[in-house]
Amino acid sequence: MTISKSAACRTVLPQAGTEASRQLNTLAGWRRFVDEPPAPPVLSSRSALQRMSASERDLYDEERLDHHARMLTVATSFVETTAICGRRLVLLNRHAISARRGLIVSGPAGTGKTITITQLARSHELLDRARHPHVADRIPVVYVTVPPAATARMIATEFARFLGLPVRARSNMTDIIEAVVGVCTDTRTGLVLVDELHNISLTSRHGAEVADTLKYFSERLPATFVYAGIDIQESGLLSGTRGAQIAGRFTLIPSRPFPYNTEWKGLVATMEDTLRLQDHRPGTLTGLDRFLHDHTGGMIGSLSHTIRGAAIDAILTGAEKITKKIIQAIPLDHTARTTASLATKTATFR
């Protein structure tokens, strides 16, 4: 069954307000992410709190809970370095006919890879909007994730799903790819993000076919491709004939846990500034920045999860402030716990 380009263009805008509008790998979700987040709630005075009815207090608390639940993006040196490299590649690829260069962001889980590539793409889309303020049918960025045990058809379907293209059981690979290429070309897609790249295994037939499909997309689309995944350089994706093709065209930027330094202290201070808690004393978290580094192993994802989780608990329990005890009560991911434990042992034996 053929997917016509006209039908594709008509379905390229998913309905807002659905669950899809909250997912980055749909066009509606991506646009929601790109748009400015709502302004942080304003803290009410103690007298104003006393005058609130029970329902008004519930709404007030819910607004603050929602604020702390949002993932905070901080312009770290890693984010800035990746943004500069990505911008450079976009410019270099602008007039390239073939052999376009790409970018790979690779490192341990929890080191901010997805945050970094999405910030690069958000900047790209905002720049495109500024240059074409009255053009509504442009799609500057496509964001897809590689499903576990992915097949070539599955990855092609992920591209189609982002664009809102109908894919039916009878749609063959050629139909899906041609529809995706046609829409991306017509809507001037300039940046393609492929996340969770570690789900591809070149040792399997399906994995090799997925790699070939991504390569075919990169050849057909006049766009810069950005990959992200866990420890790509150690996964075998850059070895062998297919891996050599990727390694020869892609710049690799490694992501790592943050060392305890001035930048880490700045991260903690920035996150503390976003808190909206009635009784939290400014400087409490910055005074715990060393503890927070030891506790999270320098993982920015774990730091964000810990502080946001502690703020939510502070509201739910009525404590209205973050303490060391509340922080210690937030369960950490295994990677952060392992990294923190290893760092503690290393420091002990020095």
Q: Report helix, strand or coil for 45.
A: coil
Which token pair is 79?
A: 């984010």
**What are the pLDDT digits (tens) for 152-198?**
999 999 999 999 999 888 888 999 999 999 999 999 999 999 999 99
Residue 288 is given by DSSP the state G
* Cα 175 from Cα 164, distance rounded (Å): 15
Average pLDDT for 306-327: 96
Lowest mean pLDDT across 54-68, 96-110, 116-130, 236-250: 236-250
- CATH 3.40.50.300 for domain 5-14+75-254, yes or no, is yes
Residue 20 binned pLDDT confidence (cut-offs 50, 70, 90): low
- How many angstroms separate the CA atoms of 311 and 293, rounded? 18
Task: Cite the beta strand spans of 39-177 per DSSP E.
Answer: 102-107, 141-145
Average pLDDT on 109-121 reads 93
Q: How far apart are CA 180 and CA 155, in angstroms?
A: 11
> How confident is the model over 283-316, as pLDDT tens digits?
999 999 999 999 999 999 999 999 999 999 999 9
The whole-number pLDDT of residue 15 equals 42
Q: pTM of the prediction?
A: 0.85
Which range, of 68-77, 111-120, 257-266, 310-319, averages the lowest pLDDT?
A: 68-77
Q: Are strands 102-107 and 141-145 parallel, antiparallel or unpaired?
A: unpaired
Q: Which conformational region is residue 196 in: left (phi greater than 0), alpha (psi within -120 to 50 degrees), or beta?
A: left
Helix (H) or strand (E) holding 141: strand 141-145
Confidence of residue 258 (pLDDT cuts 50, 70, 90): very high
Question: Is residue 306 within 8 Å of 292, Cβ to Cβ?
Answer: yes
Contact between 79 and 116 under an 8 Å Cβ cutoff? The reply is yes
